[in-house]
Structure 1
């Protein structure tokens, strides 16, 4: 059993490196492990900051909110994931986007509310299932067939466990890039709504693979990176605090209004509107969207730091600071007045020192270690 995403990802990459089989599917070279089951004991520890991987936590948050709000439009997502249109048939939507399938299946069923109601009616139910793959429309020639197919929530004792079934999972852009993050947020919300504790996350992947485009990064991680996480330094995860789906949805709608204002350049109004958001995760996620839009708009670094300082000490704030410092080519946790906790600053100093050692010891890592995303 793994503890969290960092623990699972580093081990998965190493195992694919040493045990994986080379295969060509849809014209793409990849290395894969078949029929993999990963069980994670602390799924809410969803933030991963390790050398070489260089993920974008702002994009993870933006896509997670987009899915949970029931959206599938490229216009919103492409600001955070510029390559999003590459996976769209029409350039306007993701045809098989998870959002509409979870929140408005066939225009009839909000599966999030339905599962919450099902568990509320019978705490020991085995029928709390959310489906994503749709055989009526997904056996077609398309760029977008859902990789994540089935979510099963089951409560035993006081713990709500989540089982995720994935037909095929890219370890980089899928598993560690977005899927673990988004489902762990949903898992935590459903635990709150059903009066449960967050239980285990069990993750089944028919094919768990790494594409050729990520071979260099993957083998560098396998050879040189250890799975120390931000949580090992005492940094706490930022919790979802809503205890009803309706309350979460109301706050989420406000966050999207905030994002609209930030995207339009009205950053002060965007921040002011967050005052009505009561959910801890969504409130700081909103601050992250404001900060990232400011970053994209080339607003002064000092003003962006002020927004990051408004966030609670947490895994998300630490990851936000790490991303910005990396992009600004800085490594001082106090840069421009960043006001981080001792735990956050200690982790970042250790992280950037590890990056520096890898760059010094392994010249071949240099381009990967300093790239933006």
Structure 2
């Protein structure tokens, strides 16, 4: 009997990948018992290629992805942080993955920028600037000395382990390897946001375009109870194809306008959360308009929702410049308003 080949999904964006992955797992998934309960897993590794990785927002009502958390966690990572307090504001459940309630052992952004004693992203950017055809630009998140344990006492070790960057035809290509990937929550959910934002950031720093994003998942799975809840999602639900003017496809605004000030402005934006969540009048001017026109309105809308002003939150979310994030936030808030009714 010949072993099954590695599965490959070639998708425009994360919405298409989620649909394809769920259908394939339904057809070929093998049920296994895990320490977190029964799961369906693919019998071989899976490689997913995104041709339009900047189309990173999920809209499926059944999935009910929290767009605020997806974006804010990604920016928190890019700032190199590992603190629980800041990111847990947008998802309290994430605290369970901290061993001490203060920091996360395996926080990706901290691994990228601080864990190993130097900033791996700066090193990667310098290398690609120096050697445009390079094949040695590897950013690692897995630290064998800290993560390879004989027991399972750590609550948080990196699932994504390495990132490979290359430049081809003026575009930054990225491959991410993952040891254990939850199809619904991770691979075709939060990870697609985390990593595509990282890819866009690196491309902007190099003053290049964004190429393909390849995700290699050694073990791609979904827990049975969550998988059952996802049945019935519709393949055609992809607003990126109609969000543009006159119902045409939508090209989201850039994450980075001025890469020389982006890192400083990112840290400033992160540190101003207490001001912006409690005031719709507080606006810091930024050279990078994404902070002022997309991230800040999202944060203010979140603050209104947390203060039980759901209608005001929905109204404010309508001011988000990026129409994909705007649509996802309005729909997510509207679903919560309907639950309260």
What TM-score, normalized by structure 1, do the two folds share? 0.81
- The equivalences for 1:255-334 within 5 A come to 255-263=269-277, 265-269=278-282, 272-273=283-284, 276-283=285-292, 284-299=294-309, 301-302=311-312, 304-329=313-338
Structure 2: unaligned runs, 5 residues or longer: 1-9, 243-248
**Does residue 1:172 correspond to 2:184, yes or no?**
yes
The whole-number CA distance in structure 2 between the counterparts of 1:49 and 1:294 is 21
Q: Judge conservation of contact 2:46–2:217 (CA < 8 Å) in 1.
A: yes
Change (3 A) 1:147 1:50: same
Structure 1 window deviating more from structure 2 (191-200 vs 246-255): it is 246-255
CA deviation string 1:172-210 (max 9, x = no partner): 221233111011011111111112211111110001110
- Partner of 1:336 in structure 2? none
The whole-number CA distance in structure 2 between the counterparts of 1:257 and 1:123 is 35
The whole-number CA distance in structure 2 between the counterparts of 1:109 and 1:173 is 30
Change (3 A) 1:27 1:192: closer
Match of 2:237 among 209, 222, 228: 228
Structure 1: unaligned runs, 5 residues or longer: 330-369
The whole-number CA distance in structure 2 between the counterparts of 1:266 and 1:312 is 19
- Partner of 1:83 in structure 2? 93
The whole-number CA distance in structure 1 between the counterparts of 2:189 and 2:13 is 14
- Partner of 1:25 in structure 2? 34
The whole-number CA distance in structure 1 between the counterparts of 2:179 and 2:107 is 15
Match of 1:118 among 115, 121, 127: 127
Q: Judge conservation of contact 2:47–2:215 (CA < 8 Å) in 1.
A: yes
For the residue of structure 2 that corresponds to 1:163, the secondary structure is strand
Q: Judge conservation of contact 1:17–1:219 (CA < 8 Å) in 2.
A: no
What TM-score, normalized by structure 2, do the two folds share? 0.89
Match of 2:60 among 50, 53, 67: 50
The whole-number CA distance in structure 1 between the counterparts of 2:286 and 2:226 is 38
Q: Judge conservation of contact 1:6–1:227 (CA < 8 Å) in 2.
A: no
Q: Judge conservation of contact 2:81–2:110 (CA < 8 Å) in 1.
A: yes
For the residue of structure 1 that corresponds to 2:91, the secondary structure is coil
Match of 1:254 among 263, 268, 277: 268
Change (3 A) 1:203 1:313: closer
For the residue of structure 1 that corresponds to 2:195, the secondary structure is helix
The whole-number CA distance in structure 2 between the counterparts of 1:80 and 1:236 is 27
Aligned-residue offset at 1:305: 4.3
Work out the number of aligned pairs and report it: 321
The whole-number CA distance in structure 2 between the counterparts of 1:181 and 1:229 is 16
**Does residue 1:163 correspond to 2:195, yes or no?**
no
Aligned-residue offset at 1:293: 1.4
CA deviation string 1:324-370 (max 9, x = no partner): 222222xxxxxxxxxxxxxxxxxxxxxxxxxxxxxxxxxxxxxxxx7
- Partner of 1:210 in structure 2? 222
Aligned-residue offset at 1:142: 0.8
- Partner of 1:241 in structure 2? 256
Structure 1 window deviating more from structure 2 (146-155 vs 136-145): it is 136-145
**Does residue 1:7 correspond to 2:7, yes or no?**
no
Structure (1 or 2) with the greater helix fraction: 1
- Hey, which bits of structure 1, 4+ residues long, moved more than 6 A? none
Aligned-residue offset at 1:27: 4.7
Match of 2:164 among 144, 149, 152: 152
CA deviation string 1:32-80 (max 9, x = no partner): 1131011111111101212311111011011111111111111112221
Pairwise CA RMSD: 2.0
The whole-number CA distance in structure 1 between the counterparts of 2:63 and 2:240 is 17
